[in-house]
């Protein structure tokens, strides 16, 4: 039930979780960002902690009110800062959960001063963007000891979503990839969600549906089991 202490199958195991949405600076006061709140990552962090894990949350701009006092937080507002933190932490950790919405691109340069509207006659402004490092794919490559889980939210019909998911699972090579369909009112807010869980060959292992807290709990049990089987 809700109050029972879950099995301590992650006792003392060190886990980091990336969560929230990165901000990519344009100038000292502006950024490119996304709508991710980090709520689901925080929920997974709590569930893993309940199983005995020592959890560190790498927070990309998560609202303070959502962060539980019991969880160690490292602020990683941009993709590059998150990348650096993951590369430094990973050798000492056993599990990495990659729940953050990482901007795929950042402005090539950051203006030192606020970009001004006045002065030019131009009606357009062009920003040149460069690709950010793929934090999950890099961590999988550099730290084979790490149990890893990635997340993919895809749009399209169920057949397209399944095929994007398979491709992504194979490309990233994380131990687990949690895939869900978003768009047309699916997957946002407090409605029920369905997650398919793929392995690194793109095969569907299982699927979970229900409220986000319920799914976070089931996912945490699967992460624990995956960690156990990878280390025995
Ligand atoms: N991810 C990451 N670093 C990035 C981009 C993504 O660590 N620079 C992680 C996300 O946290 C997530 C997984 O990779 O766990 C999948 O992210 P997603 O954006 O779906 O994958 P991309 O490879 O960026 O593909 P897409 O073109 O669909 O955005
Ligand atoms: Ca992306």
- Which phi-psi region, left, alpha or beta, contains residue 61 (left: φ > 0; alpha: ψ -120 to 50)? left
Structure confidence at residue 193 as a pLDDT band (50, 70, 90):
confident
Mean pLDDT of 65-94: 98
Q: What residues flank ligand 1, with Cβ below 6 Å?
A: 18, 79, 98, 100, 102, 104, 132, 134-136, 150-152, 168
Which class for 73: exposed (0-12), middle (13-18), buried (19 or more C-beta within 10 A)? middle
Structure confidence at residue 1 as a pLDDT band (50, 70, 90):
very low
The pLDDT value recorded for residue 6 is 79
Distance 106 CA to ligand 2 centre (A): 12
Phi, psi of 49 (to 5 degrees): -65, -40
The pLDDT value recorded for residue 187 is 56
In the predicted model, what is the mean pLDDT of the chain? Answer: 94
List active site positions: 34
> Does residue 106 carry a pLDDT above 90?
yes
The pLDDT value recorded for residue 47 is 97
Strands 24-27 and 30-32: antiparallel
- Supply angle C-alpha 64, 65, 70, rounded to 5: 80
Distance 82 CA to ligand 2 centre (A): 14
> Does residue 120 carry a pLDDT above 90?
no
> Does residue 3 carry a pLDDT above 90?
no
Residues 6+ apart with CB under 8 A from 163: none
Structure confidence at residue 123 as a pLDDT band (50, 70, 90):
confident
Structure confidence at residue 121 as a pLDDT band (50, 70, 90):
confident
Mean pLDDT of 132-145: 98
Phi, psi of 222 (to 5 degrees): -70, -40
- Note the residue count of the chain: 232
The pLDDT value recorded for residue 184 is 65
Mean pLDDT of 23-50: 97
Binding residue ranges for CTP:
104, 114, 133-136, 151, 168, 172
* CA of 104, closest atom in ligand 1: 8
pTM of the model: 0.95
Within its chain, how far is the Cα of 161 from the centroid? 18
Half-sphere exposure of 159 (CA within 13 A, CB side): 0
Mean pLDDT lowest among 67-81, 117-131, 208-222: 117-131
Ligand nearest to the Cα of 102, by number? 1
Structure confidence at residue 183 as a pLDDT band (50, 70, 90):
confident
């Amino acid at each position: 039930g809700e109050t029972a202490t879950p099995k301590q199958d992650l006792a003392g195991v060190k886990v980091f979780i990336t969560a929230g949405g990165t901000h990519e600076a344009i100038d000292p006061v502006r950024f490119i960002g996304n709508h991710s709140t980090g709520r689901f990552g925080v929920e997974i962090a709590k569930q893993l902690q309940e199983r005995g894990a020592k959890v560190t949350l790498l927070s990309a701009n998560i609202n303070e009110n959502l962060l539980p006092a019991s969880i160690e937080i490292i602020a990683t507002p941009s993709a590059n800062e998150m990348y650096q933190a993951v590369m430094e932490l990973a050798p000492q950790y056993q599990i990495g959960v990659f729940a953050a919405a990482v901007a795929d691109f950042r402005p090539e340069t950051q203006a030192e001063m606020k970009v001004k509207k006045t002065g030019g006659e131009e009606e357009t402004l062009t920003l040149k963007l460069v690709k950010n490092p793929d934090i999950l794919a890099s961590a999988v490559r550099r730290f084979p000891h790490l149990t890893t889980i990635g997340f993919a939210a895809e749009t399209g019909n169920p057949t397209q979503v399944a095929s994007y998911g398979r491709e992504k699972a194979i490309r990233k090579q994380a131990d687990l990839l949690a895939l869900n369909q978003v768009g047309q009112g699916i997957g946002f807010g407090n409605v029920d969600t369905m997650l398919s869980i793929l392995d690194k060959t793109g095969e569907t292992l299982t699927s979970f549906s229900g409220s986000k807290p319920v799914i976070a709990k089931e996912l945490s049990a699967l992460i624990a089991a995956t960690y156990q089987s990878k280390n025995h």
